[in-house]
Structure 1
Amino acid sequence: MLDIASLAGLKVALWGWGREGRAAWRVLRRRLPALSLTLFCSEAELADANALGDALLTARTDATAEALSAFDVVIKSPGISPYKPEALAAAERGTRFIGGTALWFAEHADARTICVTGTKGKSTTTALLAHLLRAGGHRTALCGNIGLPLLEVIDVDDPPEFWAIELSSYQTGDVAASGVRPSIAVATNIFPEHLDWHGSEAQYVSDKLSLFTGAAPRIAILNGADPRLSALSLPHSEVRFVGGEDGWHLRGDVVHRGERAVFDAADVPLPGRHNRSNLCAVLAAIEALGLDAEALAPHAATFQPLPHRLQTLGTRDGLTWVNDSISTTPHASLAALDCFRSRRVALLAGGHDRGIDWSDFAQAMRRHAPAVIVTLGQNGPKIHDLLAPVSDEAGFALVAAVDLPDAVAKARAALGGEGVVLLSPGAPSFGSYRDYTERGRHFAALAGFDPEAITAIPGLGIA
């Protein structure tokens, strides 16, 4: 176990100067004020780092294998892949690469943690978990990948009773590396994503599942309908599946615990059946904590949906505008379309090309296509070429756009004043936008809504 105190006397570097990198610097300066640090960052970030006035911090831009291998420990930001050639070469020479998630867990071995991961739905699941726990009077932290790095809450004067932590595939391995077992770990589903970071689909799945296979949570809550999750062998964890008739599951819109009907979720503000299914995972996790999940279930009706996740912005000139900017896989786009199957929809699809296969999406369009698909972004031409023969057979309009403003204009024109404009791109925003939040904000502005009013994540932090 590598905690912060054990870094004293070691050669330590930070790699990345985003929010996580800055959080790591603050923690190390607070805990180890005499520790010399080197920061590897971009040219654009040098001025910001140097402006700190930290005499023991050296900022540089040459994150080469030789430079990295000079350090005992490199604390890297989540967006930096450990599979980069320079990282692999330095690791072979003995440099240890960790993230802030590993440091946090090493400092909180006795915390009651509920870790949530999955390709889609993990943010909403984590936020809903925190919401229900708080409704039951339990002081709970909502943090992690959802928007509050763990290192920003590593030192709190009044620790919460429970920690609801969202983890991306960039962070799950850090939990295993920390040597600390989570109290409970939840997985919603597994689809191919982030292949550019992980290098392959197999590595992505392995890294994602390391929260279970490596960290060995005391209780694992798994979606039994997902083939990869249902096939997991976890000899060191108690496994509880959701979705089957003997556990928490949906029948129509009604949540059941075994044969017992518990709660009608039809009016819960969770768009899409997949999100209501994740309510079952939340209730299973609450039950695993030893709490009365059935009593807390009705509080789901007061949950506030998260921004950029099937977020209905409102109606303008007869068109309903839906912001699902966080959609970064074709499977997420399919789930979004399913929510509006009875409506005329113009889907905006495409973005950064990570090499994800859209063939399953194209096949699905033969059966249930929207009225219009507007392709855009780096992988827009590939998606367009794949869908062209399908559009002729299925009878939907296929339009190419050069960017988001062009896509919005063409979707508006194609729908003719009636229907849903759905931004569910099935791809990341990199290259065109800093992140999915900036993309969603731009979409809102183009639709005529205030981007400032749509971005806050309700309940973030400790309450």
Structure 2
Amino acid sequence: MGRTAGARTMPLPLPITEYRDLPVTVMGLGRFGGGLGAVKFLIDRGARVTVTDLRPQSQLAESLREFDARQLVRLQCGGHVEADFAEARLVVVNPAVKPDCPWLQHIREREIPRTSENNLFWHHNRGRVIGVTGSNGKSTTTALIAHLLRNAGRTVHLGGNIGGSLLSIVDTIQPTDWVVLELSSFQLADLNRIEASPEIAVVTNFAPNHLDWHSDLDDYRRAKQAILRWQAPSSTAVLNRDDPDVCRWTTLGRVWMFGHEASRADAASSQIVVTGTDLHIDDASVPTSTETISLSGQFPLPGEHNAMNVAAAICAVRAAGVNTEQITPALKTFQGLPHRLEHVATVDGRTFYNDSLATTPESAICALRAFPGRVLLLAGGYDKHVDLTTFASEAARRCFAIAWMGQTATQLRAMAAGVTESAPSQRITFSLREAFDWLWELSQPGDTILLSPACASFDWFLNFADRGEQFRECVHEKSRAIAESQPGPSHPTSPE
């Protein structure tokens, strides 16, 4: 164990390594499979599995369909009870469970070993790990790293918060494979308990987030820093030089910096300097050579922030041994992610973008800055107790109209009021449909209508994907309605 984790080839130790007939409680199955990978993994290995979840069984139906519940020893829905843990010799805790949950105290008092789905994967994984974290930009960066590695001929497994659980295939992952993981602060806080960090760790940025889960900002920072804490000297850290917090984080390993200023951490570090759409690569291992990659016409995603995401991804794959000749052509074919500045359609001259993954004010600000023309915005949602003032001001300055949604709607409208003399039209709405219809009535050809909430989705929606899909459906319904109202045949004619 200890600081050799980043370069390890042997599994990390856990309190328990043999699962057959072992009583295991999975605490939190989740509506979207947060503990599903662990349940299937443990059942396959002959464990005696109890699943307990706060939600009623009706809300867990999608997850429960993924396995035969008759294989469980016990299924407890609608709340945890003492019997869920009475015989457990291991508890697998969903990352969404807050640290102050009284049942975690119950587990500690009884000295029951605990782990998580992510830590189970780390225990059994033999592959080389690239981990990505940050307050925003991490999903796009993670997906791009996997894309660049695959296009360079590497075997890649994408997981963590993006791509789903890899536990089901962990036995097939080879020591030469690359595992690319998007890691949340929740997962990193738990990973810290087994003293493990990725071989290549990428930090896109740091800003207050998830303060409804972490006790304070320092607790959130400590969780994020776990991605570097247990790196070995042979490991690599990829850090955002423009971020005044992240650029001071330390590692035992090598360093790649990316940002708009040319300044190495030390003589042995490497860097990518971003100037507009050009990326200047200064690799310390090749001291006499500086290479430039131009993103102009080469990378399909809009926005200056995406140039930084590309720079972070290139740092990571250069550290993994991929050269520029392999990187450049692969950039053209990257399609981006669903719900991340996703172009949905252009309808009657209005262009729609779905950025439902923008669950932080920083990521939503980046989205607003990606569009120079007239923008009509849908924003707001679940309150994570982060400061939304800067986002509200930016939205007021950049938008023609704003439909505020969810728990934060009232405070966002108040924050945006009076920011500029030519204030945007604002409205507090009570459904995504109402917000969409109101903005459509105000829009004209040439406008961009953007869903970029700056908030989580759990007040009105199942998750960010549900929110984005409902927005897409509004767009497609409007497109169909306009098409049906046009004169001419309702269906295209086929050639004779």
Q: Note whether the superposition's TM-score is higher than 0.5.
A: yes
The structure-2 alpha-carbon separation of the partners of 1:60 and 1:395, relative to structure 1 and needing over 3 Å to count, comes to: closer
Q: Secondary structure at the match of 1:199?
A: coil
Q: Does the 8 Å CA contact 1:248/1:256 hold for their aligned counterparts?
A: yes
Matches within 5 A, 1:28-67: 28-31=42-45, 33=46, 35-41=47-53, 42-44=55-57, 48=64, 52-54=69-71, 56-59=73-76, 61-63=78-80
Q: Which residue of 1 aligns with 2:130?
A: 114
Distance 2:241 2:477 in 1: 39
Deviation at 1:416, TM superposition (A): 3.4
What residue identity is the alignment partner of 1:123?
A: S
Distance 2:209 2:72 in 1: 41
What residue identity is the alignment partner of 1:431?
A: D
Q: Which residue of 1 aligns with 2:376?
A: 346
Distance 1:9 1:215 in 2: 35
Deviation at 1:56, TM superposition (A): 3.2
Distance 2:423 2:478 in 1: 35
Deviation at 1:10, TM superposition (A): 5.6
Deviation at 1:81, TM superposition (A): 2.2
Q: Which residue of 2 aligns with 1:131?
A: 147
Task: Choose the corresponding residue for 1:266, options 296, 300, 314.
Answer: 296
Task: Choose the corresponding residue for 2:178, options 162, 167, 191.
Answer: 162
Distance 1:69 1:186 in 2: 40
The structure-2 alpha-carbon separation of the partners of 1:65 and 1:191, relative to structure 1 and needing over 3 Å to count, comes to: farther
Q: Secondary structure at the match of 2:399?
A: coil
Q: Does the 8 Å CA contact 1:249/1:277 hold for their aligned counterparts?
A: no
What residue identity is the alignment partner of 1:282?
A: A
What residue identity is the alignment partner of 2:442?
A: A
Q: Which residue of 2 aligns with 1:229?
A: 246
Q: Which residue of 2 aligns with 1:82?
A: 99
Q: Secondary structure at the match of 1:390?
A: coil
Q: How many residues get paired? A: 444
Q: Secondary structure at the match of 1:425?
A: coil
Q: Alpha-carbon deviations, 1:434-461, whole Å to 9, x = none?
A: 111111111011112699xxxxxxxxxx
The structure-2 alpha-carbon separation of the partners of 1:347 and 1:216, relative to structure 1 and needing over 3 Å to count, comes to: farther
Distance 2:156 2:123 in 1: 19
Deviation at 1:423, TM superposition (A): 0.2
Confirm or deny that 1:254 pairs with 2:284: no
Task: Choose the corresponding residue for 1:356, options 386, 397, 408.
Answer: 386
The structure-2 alpha-carbon separation of the partners of 1:4 and 1:387, relative to structure 1 and needing over 3 Å to count, comes to: same
Q: Which residue of 2 aligns with 1:412?
A: 440
The structure-2 alpha-carbon separation of the partners of 1:216 and 1:167, relative to structure 1 and needing over 3 Å to count, comes to: farther
Q: Which residue of 2 aligns with 1:13?
A: 25
Deviation at 1:69, TM superposition (A): 7.5
Q: Alpha-carbon deviations, 1:284-320, whole Å to 9, x = none?
A: 1122123324542332111111110001112111211
Q: Which residue of 1 aligns with 2:267?
A: none
Deviation at 1:150, TM superposition (A): 2.6
% identical aligned pairs: 32
What residue identity is the alignment partner of 1:39?
A: V
Confirm or deny that 1:435 pairs with 2:447: no
Deviation at 1:207, TM superposition (A): 1.4
Q: Secondary structure at the match of 1:326?
A: coil
Distance 1:441 1:154 in 2: 31
Confirm or deny that 1:196 pairs with 2:215: no
Distance 2:41 2:238 in 1: 32
Q: Which residue of 2 aligns with 1:458?
A: none
Distance 2:114 2:459 in 1: 27
Q: Alpha-carbon deviations, 1:235-272, whole Å to 9, x = none?
A: x2323221242521211101111383421102201221
Q: Which residue of 2 aligns with 1:174?
A: 190
Q: Does the 8 Å CA contact 1:369/1:394 hold for their aligned counterparts?
A: no
- RMSD of Structure 2 on Structure 1 (CA): 2.7
Deviation at 1:380, TM superposition (A): 0.6
Q: Secondary structure at the match of 1:78?
A: coil
Distance 1:239 1:437 in 2: 34
| Structure 2: gaps spanning 5 or more residues | 1-12, 265-270, 283-288, 480-496
Deviation at 1:168, TM superposition (A): 1.6
Q: Which residue of 1 aligns with 2:408?
A: 379
Matches within 5 A, 1:62-73: 62-63=79-80, 68=85, 71-73=88-90
Distance 1:68 1:233 in 2: 39
Distance 2:56 2:404 in 1: 33
Compare 75-84 and 139-148 and name the one that shifted more.
Answer: 75-84
Distance 2:185 2:205 in 1: 12
Q: Which residue of 2 aligns with 1:286?
A: 317
